[in-house]
Homo-oligomer: A and B are copies of this chain.
Amino acid sequence: MPVHLNVPSAQSLHPVRGLRIGVTEAGVRKANRKDLVVFELAPGSQVAGVFTLNRFCAAPVQICREHLAQAGGVRGIVINTGNANAGTGADGLARARQTCDALAQQLGVTPAQILPFSTGVIMETLPVDRIVAGLPAAVAGLADNRWLEAAQGIMTTDTLPKAASRRVRIGGADVHVTGIAKGAGMIRPNMATMLGFVGTDAHLAPGLAQALVREAADASFNRITIDGDTSTNDSFVLMATGQAGHARIDSLDSPEGQALRDAVIAVSQELAQAIVRDGEGATKFITIQVDGGRTTAECKQVAYAIAHSPLVKTAFFASDPNLGRILAAVGYAGIDDLDQTLIDLHLDDVLVASRGGRHAAYREEDGQRVMKQAEITVRVTLHRGAASALVWTCDLSHDYVSINADYRS
C-alpha cells in the first residue's frame, strides 16, 4: 500500500516539445503488459545521465556510458522491463547492442545515438528477439502525450506508475519539465532510483545538462533508500530538446537557469519520493534529518545508518516507539569521535532524548502518537558542527519479505 502516493492524470503531464514516446507490449517476461518504451528526441537534444556505482553494472549501463562519451548526440532511448540484462557477461552486451541497432534502424539514426535501459530480474538472458520484434509497434505509436503509459511501461514491483510534471515561464516561453521513474526495491543512494527519465524542452548550452542532472540526482534520487541494496541498473537521465523557443540558457545560476533548475529538481524530488512512498511493502514515509554535524558526509552517514537499520524500520512498521534503536544506529554510523552525551533526538515535535539519554519530560504516549502517523520526521542533532543532511525512507514490513521472496514466481 503506497503511502500518500497519487497517480497523476495523463492530462496533468505536460508534453515536452521535441520528445515523442512509444509504448508497447513486447512480452519480455509476461504477456499482456506494457514492457517496452521508446523515447525519440529531436536533433540537437542534449542528453546526460548518472548511473549506478555498482561494479557489477548491467550491460545497458555500460553501453549508455560508452554512447554518451561519443559526440553523436542521443536521438533515441529504449527501455524494457522484465529483464535487467545484468550479470549476463559478453552475451548481455551483444544483446543490448542488438537492441540499439534495431531502434537506430527504425529511427534512421546511428546505433551510437541510442541509449538502452533494462530493469527486472538479474542474470537471465535478455530476450532480444522479442524486444526487436516489438520496436516497430512502439515507433509507430510515437506521440508526445504518452508519459503516463511510459511510466506504466517501466514498472517492476511498483504498485503504481510514477510521473511528475511542471511548467515554468522562461524568457517569455513556456518550458515543460516532465519525468517518470520506477522503484521499488534495491534502492539506495548512488543511484537510488532504478530508472528515472526527465525530459524538458528547455534550451541549454553544452555541458549544462550534465551539471543539472548531477545536481538534481543529489537533491532527489541520491537521498532515498529503501533496503540499502544498490542496483546494477540504476540510471537517471535528463533529456533537453531545446524546442521551447526561448533564448539559450548559458548558466544555471542565471534567473532563467535557476527557474529551470528549480523545476527539474522539483520533478526529480517528486519522483524520488514517489519511489519511497511505493517502496516494497512500505506503510510509512520517513524523513530523516541530521543536523549539527561537522560535515554533510558525516550527517549522511548517520542518516543512512538510521534509514538502513532493520530494527528501526520494523519499529516504524509496528508503530512502536522503541526509539533507543535510533540512538543505537547513530552510535554505529561510523563517527569515531562521536560524543553520545551531546545528542538530541526528536520525533516530529517530540523531544525523545536529550544529551544522549531519555528526555526527562518524554512520555511514551507522545512517541506513540507520532509513530502511528503515516509520515514521520526523525531529527537527530549531533551538536558538533553546522552541517546537515536529509534522506527519505520507508519502513520494513511483512510485505517487503513477501514481495522479495516471491518476486520471480
Contact = CB atoms under 8 A, between A and B. Distances in A.
A314 B401 contact: yes
A220 B309 CA distance: 23
Interface residues of A, number: 71
Contact of A357 (B92, B323, B358): B92
Given A125-B358, A353-B123, A358-B125, A230 B89 contact: no
B123 A229 contact: no
A328 B228 contact: no
A320 B404 CA distance: 10
Interface string A367-409: 0000000000000000000000000000011101110111111
Contacts of A55: 330-333, 335-336, 338, 340
A121 interface: yes
A86 to B, nearest CB: 6
A229 B328 CA distance: 8
Interface string A318-332: 101011110111111
B404 A328 contact: no
Given A122-B324, A122-B327, A310-B400, A332 B229 contact: yes
A324 B228 contact: no
Interface string A330-360: 1111011010110100000000010111100
A121 B98 CA distance: 57
A311 B404 contact: yes
A338 B231 CA distance: 16
Given A356-B56, A405-B315, A332 B230 contact: yes
Nearest to A362: B123
A87 B353 contact: yes
Given A311-B186, A332-B54, A398-B402, A408 B357 contact: no
22 contacts: A55-B331, A55-B332, A56-B327, A56-B328, A56-B343, A56-B356, A86-B328, A87-B328, A87-B356, A89-B358, A90-B357, A123-B324, A124-B324, A228-B310, A229-B310, A231-B328, A310-B310, A310-B400, A314-B404, A317-B401, A320-B408, A397-B401
Given A124-B324, A186-B311, A229-B325, 12 more contacts: A55-B338, A55-B340, A56-B343, A56-B356, A88-B357, A125-B358, A228-B309, A229-B310, A229-B332, A311-B404, A314-B401, A320-B407
Interface of A: 52-57, 84, 86-92, 121-125, 185-186, 188, 227-232, 308-311, 314-315, 317-318, 320, 322-325, 327-333, 335-336, 338, 340-341, 343, 353, 355-358, 396-398, 400-402, 404-409
